Amino acid sequence: MPPKRKNEAAIKVEDVGMEVDVVSDSGSEDEARRRAKNRRAKPQRKSKPVSDHEEDEEDEEDEAPKKRVRKKKAKPRDSDEEDEEDNQSVKRKSSKASRKKIKEESDEEREEDREKRKKRGTVASKKEKEEHNKEKKGNVKGKQGKNMGGEKDKKKKNGKLSSSSSSSDSGDESLSEGEIAALKEQVEEKKKLITTLRNKPWRMKRRLVLLKEAQDFVEEFEGALGKGKGRKLYAFKVMMAKKLIKFKRDFDNFKTACIPWERKIKDVESHFGSSVASYFIFLRWMYGLNLVLFGFMFGLVVLPELLMGLPYGSIPRKTVPREEQDTAMDFSVLNDFEGFCKYSFLFYGYYNNERTIGVLKFRLPLSYLLVGVGIFGYSLMVVIRTMARNSNEGGDGAEEGEFTFSWKMFTSWDYLIGNPETADNKYASITTSFKESIVDEQENQKNENIHLRRFLRVLANLLITCTLGGSGYLIYFVVKRSQDFAKMEQDKLSWLEKNEVEFVMSLLGLVCPPLFETIAELEDYHPRIALKWQLGRIFALFLGNLYTFLFALFDEVNEKLETEKSIRNATEWALDQYYANYSSHFNTTDVPPPNVSPADVIRGPCWENAVGIGFVKLVVSDIQVSYLTILVGDFLRAVIVRFLNYCWCWDLEAGFPSYGEFDISGNVLGLVFNQGMIWMGAFYAPGLVGLNILRLLSSMYYQAWAVMCCNVPHARVFKASRSNNFYMGLLLLVLFLSVLPVVYTIMTLSPSFDCGPFSGQEKMYDVVMETIEQDLPSFLGNIFTYATNPGLILPAVLLMLLALYYLNAVSKGYQQANLDLKRKMKMARDEEKNRRNNKDSTNQVMKDLEDLLPNKSLIPPPIQEEPPPTDVVTGKGSKSPKVKPGAAAKGVNLQKDVSLAAQNPRAPVTHAPGPRRGHPGNARGPHPGPGRGRGRGGPPRRHES
């Protein structure tokens, strides 16, 4: 069979071509086409123009594979002349196109350097991909044996044609299926190429050409896939997939168009580098989060109550009491969130405890509780997800210090910097970091007085602890005093006395951080370490302040609970009296409720409102202080420095006051704690979320303006990426800390009897119980009671602990494996290094092997022949490693490979299909089984040439 032999030869050429060069490959391609043409001629000769024109017309627009199917099914009426012609033209076109493509590619390839091309290896060129494809195909059809080799080196359809025409009829049916599968595979491949094209570092022009090719290909052959009834479905699927892609892209465009403040952040970025911008990105992220929270709160709690609940003034909790009514709208009162504000929808007390409201039967109390808890759940989820994404994004953390120099070198420039001044600062900071890393700083410091330094550091920490303790006590003291003030007459108190708590807290937040910074001067840490300490201390300060505030608030709440109890008793008693009097007076048991105006009803202190007001006031004063600081500390300072500089004795711009720097860490911490207050307060003051939205919105514009107009770039430009997750970690911590008090109050304290959605309940979560009992089917209630049984919860907790333990162990195992791999890599490196240096292997085993093995002869030696070379080599072995030490080791490896490969042909030969047996010489020839063992076929051939 002549075609067979040809195939073998072609494979050889192709295999070599794959390894050696592109040009020879395209040569083999050409040859293949020529052969294919010959083949194509054959079927034409063979096939007789049988009629069946109707069907053909119907099939006219069908593509090749479909036709093939039909052809195979009805062998006698093979395809007629025209059809074949048509087919061929299509094929020729496509094959020409692909040839053009390949040429284009090879041109491009040459333009880039060779080495890179090789590196890119499998991903790289489409030519290679196609070859892979073919190989795969070959594997698929491996059963059919002989012809498949021929197919491999051909353009797809040519291959199909030829194989089917020249082959015996046995494999026909399955072949066609294989073809379709292969075509499908190829279409998929192209589709994948289209989607991944942007990931290739090629020129636009080349990518454009490739894209067009691939799109045309897909367009052309997509319709051909699938048979009979499945075709329509398939076409529909394809169409939908296209639509989906388009829609996705449009949606992405829309999404990016919706992201606000891109321009603003970009301006900041180019002016100050990515670190300052990271604050604004964080701010924007926070704004998004709060928008969602606001959506929950407003949509599910505030709006329903406003629209469907009772109007203002209808019940006591929605009415300003009589004695406050005169001053309810005064600004000074409103400013303290008393008066009208206190009885508005901004606070917890406004909401009614009716189970369902409006025509929709909206369960407001339940919704209130679920939203309050859901806010935490949602925030937690978002924060964790963002953290996970961030940590995936960056490098997966090689150990610190493994690549310090390289990272400093390759990744230290911030390409976003577009401002010459910032660039200069960056140059300077990079230089210092280089110098620092070269000359180890610790070495220098050892010469100085280490005892003095230690003493100073201890002293500094002592001072800071004192400051922290002092500020905590101050807050506690002030909150206590404010409770005393609250009992006195409101008119007698000055503004300062009324707002003492917020004032003191803001003042502490303002004064303490600079104080810490001054104290930290004593310690004389490296700036980066100093920054960490500073952050930690400010964090401790804020946290301490917040928690002292909370504890003081709890005292107040407990007090209020006491008074409430007495008031409640009093009202109940009064009510009883009224009923008793009424029934005895009118002698009837049908008593109408007392006719009292809602403004005059005696009411309890409503501790929830007090807590809510406390938080709102805190947030508002925080906003005021931070805005004022920016105005005075940055803007005023910048104005003074700028304009007084003309008439001053020293250079203000370069000297003492100079312009402010943007304090990233302080601002981020401020934002994080602000969010913490929002989380804590939102449950008792639903309006707080809305207030926060306004705050974030305004501070975005305000701070962006301030930073652009009055701040100068940092002297030390830090980069942002790592700290991004650091911010998130802080946020997570604060979230956790703010969940605690809220959940505590929900679970333990009993709600006020006359205000808020839970009034009348023993505990707030009773709302859930009530809903379960009354509104859900009873079996669900049963399930719930079972689920809350400690007997079930404990095992669940245990299970989680076990899972935690297991995952921990697994991660430890991975770490260990990682370490092992690293060690191996290092060993290999050392080995390589040694070999380079000594030209002699250090490994004894390898040395022995080198002595034993004939590293010169690369032919697979038959196993019986093994002993003789050892004799021969004893002389050579000592010589050849010196000549080419690298090759010696390789020789050993190759030897192993080859001996493996040498065994290979034997097994397959016994299974080889009929025709192969006809040519036994082939199988036993110098190339053992060229069709398979492609990778291993390499070495012997190289030896041959």
* 430 to 449: interface string for other proteins, x by CB under 8 A: xx--xx-xx-----------
DSSP secondary structure string for all residues of 103-124 = HHHHHHHHHS-HHHHHHHGGGS
CB of 396 to other proteins, least distance (A): 7
Tell me how far apart the alpha carbons of residues 125 and 102 are, in angstroms, rounded to a whole number.
9
CA quadruple 64, 66, 71, 77: dihedral positive or negative?
negative
Q: With helix as H, strand as E and coil as C, how does 159-202 read?
A: HHHHHHHHCCHHHHHHHHHHHHHHHHHHHHHHHHHHHHHHHCCC
Task: Looking at residues 118 to 137 of the shown chain, list those that interact with other proteins (rule: CB under 8 A).
Answer: 119
CB 182 within 8 A of CB 190: no
In the complex with other proteins, the residue whose CB is nearer, 22 or 69, is: 22
- Select from 325-333, 720-728, 771-779, 808-816 the region that touches other proteins (CB under 8 A): 720-728
Q: Is 708 in the site for other proteins (CB under 8 A)?
A: no
Tell me how far apart the alpha carbons of residues 115 and 121 are, in angstroms, rounded to a whole number.
10
| 357 phi, psi to nearest 5 deg | -125, 150
CB of 413 to other proteins, least distance (A): 6
CB of 259 to other proteins, least distance (A): 10
Task: Looking at residues 102 to 121 of the shown chain, list those that interact with other proteins (rule: CB under 8 A).
Answer: 113, 115-116, 119
Figure out which of the listed residues 403, 554, 648, 784 binds other proteins, where binding follows CB under 8 A. Answer: 403
Tell me how far apart the alpha carbons of residues 684 and 569 are, in angstroms, rounded to a whole number.
25
Figure out which of the listed residues 167, 422, 534, 761 binds other proteins, where binding follows CB under 8 A. Answer: 422
Figure out which of the listed residues 832, 840, 865, 866 binds other proteins, where binding follows CB under 8 A. Answer: 832
Strands, E assignment, 318-468: none
In the complex with other proteins, the residue whose CB is nearer, 204 or 649, is: 204
CB of 861 to other proteins, least distance (A): 31
| 122 phi, psi to nearest 5 deg | -65, -35
Tell me how far apart the alpha carbons of residues 130 and 157 are, in angstroms, rounded to a whole number.
13
Q: Is 654 in the site for other proteins (CB under 8 A)?
A: no
Tell me how far apart the alpha carbons of residues 850 and 298 are, in angstroms, rounded to a whole number.
79
Q: How far apart are the first and last CA of the chain?
A: 27
Residue holding tokens 């005059």? 600
Task: Looking at residues 295 to 314 of the shown chain, list those that interact with other proteins (rule: CB under 8 A).
Answer: none
Q: What is the DSSP letter of 630?
A: I
Figure out which of the listed residues 170, 174, 325, 411 binds other proteins, where binding follows CB under 8 A. Answer: 411
Figure out which of the listed residues 2, 228, 229, 257 binds other proteins, where binding follows CB under 8 A. Answer: 257
Q: Is 420 in the site for other proteins (CB under 8 A)?
A: yes
- Select from 83-91, 128-136, 338-346, 713-721 the region that touches other proteins (CB under 8 A): 713-721
The two three-digit tokens of residue 772, written as one number: 């379960």
Q: Is 260 in the site for other proteins (CB under 8 A)?
A: no
Task: Looking at residues 170 to 209 of the shown chain, list those that interact with other proteins (rule: CB under 8 A).
Answer: 194, 197-199, 201, 203-205, 207-208
H or E segment to which residue 943 belongs: helix 938-944
In the complex with other proteins, the residue whose CB is nearer, 38 or 411, is: 411
DSSP secondary structure string for all residues of 667-710 = HHHHHHHHHHHHHHHHTT-THHHHHHHHHHHHHHHHHHHHHHHH
How many residues bind other proteins (CB under 8 A)? The answer is 69
- Select from 130-138, 418-426, 475-483, 765-773 the region that touches other proteins (CB under 8 A): 418-426
- Select from 81-89, 252-260, 551-559, 563-571 the region that touches other proteins (CB under 8 A): 252-260
Q: Is 896 in the site for other proteins (CB under 8 A)?
A: no
Name the pairing type of β-strands 711-712 and 660-661.
parallel
Find all residues with CB under 8 Å of 312, minimum gap 6, and list them.
318, 319, 343, 344
In the complex with other proteins, the residue whose CB is nearer, 416 or 507, is: 416
Q: Is 143 in the site for other proteins (CB under 8 A)?
A: no
Figure out which of the listed residues 24, 44, 106, 270 binds other proteins, where binding follows CB under 8 A. Answer: 270
Figure out which of the listed residues 326, 424, 572, 600 binds other proteins, where binding follows CB under 8 A. Answer: 424
Q: Is 821 in the site for other proteins (CB under 8 A)?
A: no
Figure out which of the listed residues 413, 455, 744, 805 binds other proteins, where binding follows CB under 8 A. Answer: 413
CB of 232 to other proteins, least distance (A): 27
CB of 128 to other proteins, least distance (A): 17
Find all residues with CB under 8 Å of 129, minimum gap 6, and list them.
122, 189, 193
DSSP secondary structure string for all residues of 747-782 = HHSPPPSSSSTTTT-SSTTHHHHHHHHHHS-HHHHH
- Select from 324-332, 428-436, 598-606, 654-662 the region that touches other proteins (CB under 8 A): 428-436
Tell me how far apart the alpha carbons of residues 395 and 265 are, in angstroms, rounded to a whole number.
25
Q: What is the DSSP letter of 858?
A: -
Q: Which residues pair with 711 in a beta bridge?
A: 660
Q: Which residues pair with 661 in a beta bridge?
A: 712
- Select from 419-427, 651-659, 783-791, 890-898 the region that touches other proteins (CB under 8 A): 419-427
Q: Which residues pair with 712 in a beta bridge?
A: 661
Q: Which residues pair with 192 in a beta bridge?
A: none
In the complex with other proteins, the residue whose CB is nearer, 795 or 886, is: 886
Binding residues for other proteins, rule: CB under 8 A, are 113, 115-116, 119, 194, 197-199, 201, 203-205, 207-208, 211, 249, 252-253, 256-257, 266, 269-270, 274, 393-398, 402-407, 409-420, 422-424, 427-428, 430-431, 434-435, 437-438, 719-722, 724, 825, 829, 832-833, 836
